[in-house]
Structure 1
Amino acid sequence: MKITETSKFLSYVLRHQPQSIGLTLDSEGWAQIDALIAGATKAGRKLDRALIEKVVETSDKKRFALSPDGRRIHAVQGHSTKTVSLTYEEKVPPALLYHGTATRFLDSLRAQGLIAKSRHHVHLSADPQTATAVGQRYGTPVVLKIDTACMHERGLKFYQAENGVWLTDAVPPEFIDVEG
Protein backbone atom coordinates (compact mmCIF):
# COMPACT_ATOMS: atom_id res chain seq x y z
CA MET A 1 0.00 0.00 0.00
CA LYS A 2 1.15 3.52 -0.70
CA ILE A 3 1.46 6.10 2.07
CA THR A 4 -1.72 8.04 1.15
CA GLU A 5 -3.78 4.89 0.66
CA THR A 6 -2.51 3.51 3.96
CA SER A 7 -3.33 6.76 5.76
CA LYS A 8 -6.90 6.64 4.43
CA PHE A 9 -7.21 3.00 5.46
CA LEU A 10 -5.91 3.77 8.97
CA SER A 11 -8.33 6.70 9.26
CA TYR A 12 -11.21 4.46 8.27
CA VAL A 13 -10.45 1.65 10.72
CA LEU A 14 -9.08 3.73 13.62
CA ARG A 15 -11.70 6.50 13.47
CA HIS A 16 -14.85 4.92 12.08
CA GLN A 17 -15.01 1.16 11.44
CA PRO A 18 -12.52 -0.92 13.45
CA GLN A 19 -14.93 -3.85 13.34
CA SER A 20 -14.60 -3.97 9.54
CA ILE A 21 -11.29 -5.81 10.05
CA GLY A 22 -12.12 -7.38 13.41
CA LEU A 23 -10.16 -4.75 15.35
CA THR A 24 -11.00 -3.71 18.90
CA LEU A 25 -10.17 -0.22 20.17
CA ASP A 26 -10.00 0.72 23.83
CA SER A 27 -11.96 3.71 25.17
CA GLU A 28 -9.14 6.08 24.13
CA GLY A 29 -9.02 4.66 20.60
CA TRP A 30 -5.81 2.65 20.99
CA ALA A 31 -5.32 -0.52 18.95
CA GLN A 32 -2.57 -3.11 19.19
CA ILE A 33 -0.42 -2.77 16.05
CA ASP A 34 -0.08 -6.56 15.74
CA ALA A 35 -3.90 -6.89 15.77
CA LEU A 36 -4.19 -4.08 13.19
CA ILE A 37 -1.73 -5.84 10.88
CA ALA A 38 -3.47 -9.20 11.34
CA GLY A 39 -6.90 -7.68 10.68
CA ALA A 40 -5.67 -5.85 7.59
CA THR A 41 -4.10 -9.05 6.27
CA LYS A 42 -7.36 -10.98 6.73
CA ALA A 43 -9.13 -8.16 4.86
CA GLY A 44 -6.68 -8.53 1.96
CA ARG A 45 -4.53 -5.48 2.68
CA LYS A 46 -0.76 -5.68 2.92
CA LEU A 47 0.30 -3.76 6.01
CA ASP A 48 3.42 -3.95 8.14
CA ARG A 49 4.96 -2.12 11.09
CA ALA A 50 7.43 -0.16 8.92
CA LEU A 51 4.64 1.20 6.71
CA ILE A 52 2.51 2.14 9.73
CA GLU A 53 5.46 3.98 11.32
CA LYS A 54 6.16 5.78 8.01
CA VAL A 55 2.55 6.98 7.81
CA VAL A 56 2.64 8.22 11.41
CA GLU A 57 5.90 10.12 11.00
CA THR A 58 5.20 11.62 7.56
CA SER A 59 1.57 12.65 8.05
CA ASP A 60 1.40 16.42 7.58
CA LYS A 61 -1.79 16.52 9.64
CA LYS A 62 -0.43 14.24 12.40
CA ARG A 63 -3.62 12.17 12.40
CA PHE A 64 -2.09 9.25 14.28
CA ALA A 65 0.12 8.64 17.29
CA LEU A 66 2.10 5.66 18.49
CA SER A 67 2.25 4.69 22.15
CA PRO A 68 5.59 5.27 23.90
CA ASP A 69 6.36 1.55 23.74
CA GLY A 70 5.55 1.46 19.99
CA ARG A 71 3.05 -1.37 20.36
CA ARG A 72 -0.17 0.60 19.92
CA ILE A 73 -1.56 3.24 17.56
CA HIS A 74 -4.54 5.58 17.66
CA ALA A 75 -6.15 8.36 15.65
CA VAL A 76 -5.76 11.60 17.61
CA GLN A 77 -9.25 12.91 16.79
CA GLY A 78 -12.17 12.54 14.40
CA HIS A 79 -13.77 9.39 15.76
CA SER A 80 -17.34 8.47 14.93
CA THR A 81 -17.37 5.07 16.62
CA LYS A 82 -19.32 5.04 19.89
CA THR A 83 -16.82 2.76 21.65
CA VAL A 84 -14.18 5.51 21.67
CA SER A 85 -14.49 8.53 23.91
CA LEU A 86 -11.19 10.38 23.98
CA THR A 87 -10.58 12.59 26.94
CA TYR A 88 -9.02 15.94 26.25
CA GLU A 89 -7.90 18.58 28.67
CA GLU A 90 -10.02 21.71 28.44
CA LYS A 91 -8.06 24.69 27.06
CA VAL A 92 -8.64 28.39 26.51
CA PRO A 93 -8.82 28.88 22.73
CA PRO A 94 -7.33 31.75 20.75
CA ALA A 95 -9.78 34.61 20.10
CA LEU A 96 -10.55 33.34 16.59
CA LEU A 97 -10.52 29.92 15.01
CA TYR A 98 -11.57 28.80 11.53
CA HIS A 99 -13.66 26.08 9.95
CA GLY A 100 -13.43 25.03 6.32
CA THR A 101 -16.49 23.87 4.47
CA ALA A 102 -18.14 24.15 1.05
CA THR A 103 -20.33 27.03 -0.10
CA ARG A 104 -23.25 24.64 -0.63
CA PHE A 105 -23.52 24.16 3.16
CA LEU A 106 -23.68 27.88 4.06
CA ASP A 107 -27.46 28.22 4.36
CA SER A 108 -27.67 25.24 6.71
CA LEU A 109 -24.72 26.46 8.78
CA ARG A 110 -26.20 29.93 9.12
CA ALA A 111 -29.42 28.38 10.44
CA GLN A 112 -28.05 25.55 12.63
CA GLY A 113 -24.43 26.47 13.28
CA LEU A 114 -21.76 23.80 13.27
CA ILE A 115 -22.74 20.47 14.78
CA ALA A 116 -20.59 17.38 15.24
CA LYS A 117 -23.07 15.03 13.48
CA SER A 118 -21.51 11.54 13.51
CA ARG A 119 -18.22 12.74 14.99
CA HIS A 120 -17.59 13.49 18.64
CA HIS A 121 -16.59 17.14 18.09
CA VAL A 122 -16.59 20.01 15.61
CA HIS A 123 -13.06 20.50 14.27
CA LEU A 124 -11.58 24.00 14.08
CA SER A 125 -8.28 25.23 12.61
CA ALA A 126 -5.90 27.83 13.97
CA ASP A 127 -5.41 29.42 10.54
CA PRO A 128 -7.55 30.15 7.46
CA GLN A 129 -5.16 28.31 5.11
CA THR A 130 -5.75 24.98 6.82
CA ALA A 131 -9.50 25.64 6.86
CA THR A 132 -9.41 26.37 3.13
CA ALA A 133 -7.66 23.06 2.45
CA VAL A 134 -10.32 21.25 4.51
CA GLY A 135 -13.15 23.05 2.68
CA GLN A 136 -11.75 22.05 -0.72
CA ARG A 137 -12.46 18.41 0.09
CA TYR A 138 -16.20 19.14 -0.01
CA GLY A 139 -16.56 21.45 -3.03
CA THR A 140 -16.05 25.18 -3.54
CA PRO A 141 -14.34 26.15 -0.29
CA VAL A 142 -15.45 28.81 2.14
CA VAL A 143 -13.79 29.66 5.43
CA LEU A 144 -15.87 30.39 8.50
CA LYS A 145 -14.40 32.65 11.16
CA ILE A 146 -15.43 31.51 14.64
CA ASP A 147 -15.57 33.97 17.56
CA THR A 148 -14.13 31.53 20.05
CA ALA A 149 -13.34 34.23 22.62
CA CYS A 150 -17.03 35.05 22.94
CA MET A 151 -17.99 31.36 22.95
CA HIS A 152 -15.52 30.69 25.74
CA GLU A 153 -16.78 33.69 27.75
CA ARG A 154 -20.26 32.15 27.55
CA GLY A 155 -19.02 28.88 29.01
CA LEU A 156 -18.58 26.76 25.89
CA LYS A 157 -15.65 24.37 26.19
CA PHE A 158 -12.67 23.85 23.90
CA TYR A 159 -10.06 21.15 23.67
CA GLN A 160 -6.99 20.66 21.53
CA ALA A 161 -6.02 17.33 19.99
CA GLU A 162 -2.41 16.15 19.90
CA ASN A 163 -2.09 17.34 16.30
CA GLY A 164 -3.18 20.92 17.08
CA VAL A 165 -6.77 20.66 15.85
CA TRP A 166 -9.20 22.55 18.11
CA LEU A 167 -12.35 20.73 19.18
CA THR A 168 -15.69 21.83 20.59
CA ASP A 169 -19.11 20.22 20.89
CA ALA A 170 -20.92 22.69 18.60
CA VAL A 171 -20.72 26.25 17.30
CA PRO A 172 -24.01 28.18 17.47
CA PRO A 173 -24.70 30.35 14.39
CA GLU A 174 -24.27 33.66 16.23
CA PHE A 175 -20.54 32.95 16.60
CA ILE A 176 -19.94 32.33 12.88
CA ASP A 177 -18.86 34.85 10.23
CA VAL A 178 -17.86 34.08 6.66
CA GLU A 179 -14.18 34.92 6.17
CA GLY A 180 -13.54 37.17 3.31
Structure 2
Amino acid sequence: MISDKENTRISKLLSLVLRHQPSLLGIELDEQGWTSVDVLLSKAQIDRPTLAYIVETNNKKRFSFNEDKTRIRANQGHSVEVELGYKAEIPPKILYHGTGSGAIASILKTGLNKRKRHHVHLSSDTETAYKVGQRHGEPVVLEIDAEQMSQNNIEFYVSANGVWLTDSVPPRYIKLP
Protein backbone atom coordinates (compact mmCIF):
# COMPACT_ATOMS: atom_id res chain seq x y z
CA MET A 1 0.00 0.00 0.00
CA ILE A 2 2.52 2.64 1.13
CA SER A 3 6.26 2.42 1.63
CA ASP A 4 7.74 1.77 5.07
CA LYS A 5 9.32 5.22 4.95
CA GLU A 6 5.96 6.89 4.23
CA ASN A 7 4.25 4.77 6.91
CA THR A 8 6.83 5.90 9.47
CA ARG A 9 6.52 9.54 8.40
CA ILE A 10 2.73 9.56 8.70
CA SER A 11 2.79 7.59 11.99
CA LYS A 12 5.16 10.13 13.50
CA LEU A 13 2.96 12.98 12.30
CA LEU A 14 -0.12 11.33 13.81
CA SER A 15 1.72 10.76 17.10
CA LEU A 16 2.77 14.39 17.19
CA VAL A 17 -0.63 15.90 16.47
CA LEU A 18 -2.80 13.38 18.35
CA ARG A 19 -0.59 13.32 21.48
CA HIS A 20 1.25 16.62 21.72
CA GLN A 21 0.53 19.38 19.18
CA PRO A 22 -2.90 19.20 17.55
CA SER A 23 -2.54 22.86 16.62
CA LEU A 24 0.30 21.95 14.25
CA LEU A 25 -2.35 20.78 11.76
CA GLY A 26 -5.08 23.03 13.07
CA ILE A 27 -7.13 20.19 14.56
CA GLU A 28 -8.81 20.08 17.95
CA LEU A 29 -8.99 17.18 20.39
CA ASP A 30 -12.05 16.78 22.58
CA GLU A 31 -11.82 16.03 26.31
CA GLN A 32 -11.14 12.34 25.62
CA GLY A 33 -8.53 13.02 22.93
CA TRP A 34 -10.77 12.29 19.92
CA THR A 35 -10.76 14.29 16.70
CA SER A 36 -12.73 14.03 13.48
CA VAL A 37 -11.27 11.61 10.93
CA ASP A 38 -12.55 13.79 8.07
CA VAL A 39 -10.86 16.90 9.47
CA LEU A 40 -7.61 14.99 10.13
CA LEU A 41 -7.60 13.56 6.61
CA SER A 42 -8.09 17.00 5.12
CA LYS A 43 -5.48 18.73 7.27
CA ALA A 44 -2.86 15.93 7.03
CA GLN A 45 -3.53 15.48 3.30
CA ILE A 46 -3.79 11.70 3.49
CA ASP A 47 -6.56 9.42 2.30
CA ARG A 48 -8.86 7.18 4.34
CA PRO A 49 -7.31 3.82 3.20
CA THR A 50 -3.84 5.05 4.18
CA LEU A 51 -5.04 6.19 7.60
CA ALA A 52 -6.86 2.88 8.16
CA TYR A 53 -3.74 0.95 7.12
CA ILE A 54 -1.54 2.90 9.55
CA VAL A 55 -3.96 2.44 12.45
CA GLU A 56 -4.35 -1.29 11.76
CA THR A 57 -0.66 -2.07 11.17
CA ASN A 58 1.06 0.20 13.70
CA ASN A 59 3.25 -2.20 15.66
CA LYS A 60 2.69 -0.27 18.89
CA LYS A 61 -1.07 0.09 18.32
CA ARG A 62 -0.78 3.80 19.11
CA PHE A 63 -4.09 4.85 17.57
CA SER A 64 -7.75 3.85 17.77
CA PHE A 65 -10.87 4.62 15.81
CA ASN A 66 -14.25 4.92 17.49
CA GLU A 67 -16.85 2.27 16.56
CA ASP A 68 -18.03 3.89 13.34
CA LYS A 69 -14.52 5.10 12.41
CA THR A 70 -15.55 8.76 12.28
CA ARG A 71 -13.17 9.74 15.11
CA ILE A 72 -9.57 8.86 15.96
CA ARG A 73 -7.28 9.29 18.96
CA ALA A 74 -3.93 8.23 20.34
CA ASN A 75 -4.19 5.46 22.94
CA GLN A 76 -1.76 6.99 25.44
CA GLY A 77 1.33 9.16 25.75
CA HIS A 78 -0.36 12.54 25.62
CA SER A 79 1.30 15.70 26.86
CA VAL A 80 -1.88 17.70 26.19
CA GLU A 81 -4.71 17.55 28.69
CA VAL A 82 -7.12 14.72 27.86
CA GLU A 83 -9.18 12.29 29.92
CA LEU A 84 -8.93 8.86 28.32
CA GLY A 85 -11.46 7.25 30.65
CA TYR A 86 -9.16 4.60 32.11
CA LYS A 87 -10.44 2.55 35.02
CA ALA A 88 -8.08 1.22 37.69
CA GLU A 89 -7.04 -2.39 37.11
CA ILE A 90 -5.01 -4.97 39.02
CA PRO A 91 -1.62 -5.30 37.30
CA PRO A 92 0.49 -8.42 36.84
CA LYS A 93 2.94 -9.14 39.67
CA ILE A 94 5.88 -7.74 37.71
CA LEU A 95 5.93 -5.05 35.05
CA TYR A 96 8.94 -3.72 33.16
CA HIS A 97 10.31 -0.33 32.19
CA GLY A 98 12.88 0.17 29.46
CA THR A 99 15.31 3.05 29.71
CA GLY A 100 18.85 4.02 28.78
CA SER A 101 21.78 3.14 31.04
CA GLY A 102 22.52 6.84 31.57
CA ALA A 103 19.25 7.31 33.46
CA ILE A 104 19.66 4.43 35.94
CA ALA A 105 21.32 6.35 38.80
CA SER A 106 18.63 9.05 38.72
CA ILE A 107 15.78 6.53 38.46
CA LEU A 108 17.07 4.48 41.39
CA LYS A 109 17.28 7.68 43.43
CA THR A 110 14.01 9.43 42.49
CA GLY A 111 11.91 6.69 40.88
CA LEU A 112 10.01 6.86 37.60
CA ASN A 113 8.08 10.07 37.13
CA LYS A 114 5.62 10.99 34.40
CA ARG A 115 7.18 14.40 33.78
CA LYS A 116 5.15 16.15 31.05
CA ARG A 117 3.12 13.05 30.20
CA HIS A 118 -0.02 11.81 31.89
CA HIS A 119 1.50 8.55 33.17
CA VAL A 120 4.60 6.43 33.49
CA HIS A 121 4.49 3.72 30.81
CA LEU A 122 5.22 0.11 31.76
CA SER A 123 5.34 -3.11 29.75
CA SER A 124 4.12 -6.57 30.63
CA ASP A 125 7.09 -8.17 28.84
CA THR A 126 10.83 -7.61 28.76
CA GLU A 127 11.04 -7.59 24.96
CA THR A 128 8.84 -4.51 24.64
CA ALA A 129 10.66 -2.78 27.50
CA TYR A 130 14.01 -3.53 25.84
CA LYS A 131 12.82 -1.95 22.58
CA VAL A 132 11.71 1.14 24.48
CA GLY A 133 15.08 1.29 26.25
CA GLN A 134 16.92 1.19 22.93
CA ARG A 135 15.44 4.58 22.07
CA HIS A 136 17.32 6.05 25.05
CA GLY A 137 20.83 4.70 24.49
CA GLU A 138 22.23 1.46 25.87
CA PRO A 139 19.03 -0.32 26.95
CA VAL A 140 18.34 -1.42 30.51
CA VAL A 141 15.14 -3.18 31.56
CA LEU A 142 13.94 -2.47 35.10
CA GLU A 143 11.63 -4.78 37.02
CA ILE A 144 8.72 -3.07 38.73
CA ASP A 145 7.05 -4.74 41.72
CA ALA A 146 3.58 -3.87 40.51
CA GLU A 147 1.90 -6.34 42.84
CA GLN A 148 3.32 -4.60 45.92
CA MET A 149 2.53 -1.16 44.49
CA SER A 150 -1.08 -2.23 43.93
CA GLN A 151 -1.30 -3.68 47.44
CA ASN A 152 -0.09 -0.28 48.68
CA ASN A 153 -3.02 1.42 46.91
CA ILE A 154 -1.09 2.75 43.93
CA GLU A 155 -3.42 2.63 40.94
CA PHE A 156 -2.67 1.13 37.54
CA TYR A 157 -4.48 1.47 34.25
CA VAL A 158 -4.05 -0.36 30.97
CA SER A 159 -4.41 1.38 27.62
CA ALA A 160 -6.18 -0.04 24.57
CA ASN A 161 -2.84 -1.24 23.22
CA GLY A 162 -1.76 -3.04 26.40
CA VAL A 163 0.59 -0.43 27.89
CA TRP A 164 0.35 -0.32 31.68
CA LEU A 165 0.14 3.17 33.16
CA THR A 166 0.64 4.63 36.62
CA ASP A 167 1.32 8.08 38.03
CA SER A 168 4.81 7.28 39.35
CA VAL A 169 6.98 4.41 40.53
CA PRO A 170 8.82 5.13 43.78
CA PRO A 171 12.40 3.76 43.94
CA ARG A 172 11.55 1.04 46.49
CA TYR A 173 9.51 -0.80 43.83
CA ILE A 174 12.28 -0.75 41.18
CA LYS A 175 14.79 -3.55 40.76
CA LEU A 176 17.65 -4.02 38.34
CA PRO A 177 17.42 -7.58 36.96
Q: TM-score range by the shorter chain?
A: over 0.9
Aligned to 1:35: 39
1:152 and 1:135 map into 2 onto residues whose CA distance is 24
Correspondence for 1:143: 141
What is aligned with 2:170?
Answer: 172
1:76 maps to what in 2? 75
| Mapping for residues 3-152 of structure 1, pairs under 5 Å | 3-40=7-44, 46-82=45-81, 84-152=82-150
Q: Any unmatched runs of 5+ in structure 2?
A: none
1:31-89 Cα shifts (integer Å, max 9, x gaps): 1011112222xxxxx3111111000110111110111111111101110012x121201
Deviation, 1:25, is 0.4
> CA offsets per residue over residues 70-109 of structure 1, 9 Å max, x none?
1111101110012x12120110000000000000001110
- Whole-Å Cα distance in 2 between the matches of residues 141 and 167 of structure 1? 20
In structure 2, distance between residues paired with 1:100 and 1:57? 25
1:4 to partner: Cα distance: 1.2
Partner of 1:43: none
1:112 and 1:49 map into 2 onto residues whose CA distance is 45
Identity of aligned pairs, percent?
A: 49
SS of structure 2 residue aligned to 1:7: helix
Give me the whole-angstrom Cα distance separating, in 2, the residues matched to 1:101 and 1:27: 30
Q: Provide the TM-score with structure 1 as the length reference.
A: 0.94
Q: Partners in 2 of 1:102 and 1:140 — Cα distance?
A: 5
* Structure 1 spans left out of the alignment, 5+ residues: 41-45
Q: Which amino acid aligns with 1:6?
A: I
Deviating beyond 6 angstroms after TM superposition, the runs of 4 or more aligned structure 1 residues are none
Distance across 2 between alignment mates of 1:176 and 1:87: 27
Aligned equivalents of 2:28, 2:125: Cα separation in 1 = 35
Alpha-carbon distance in structure 1 between the residues aligned to 2:85 and 2:165: 11
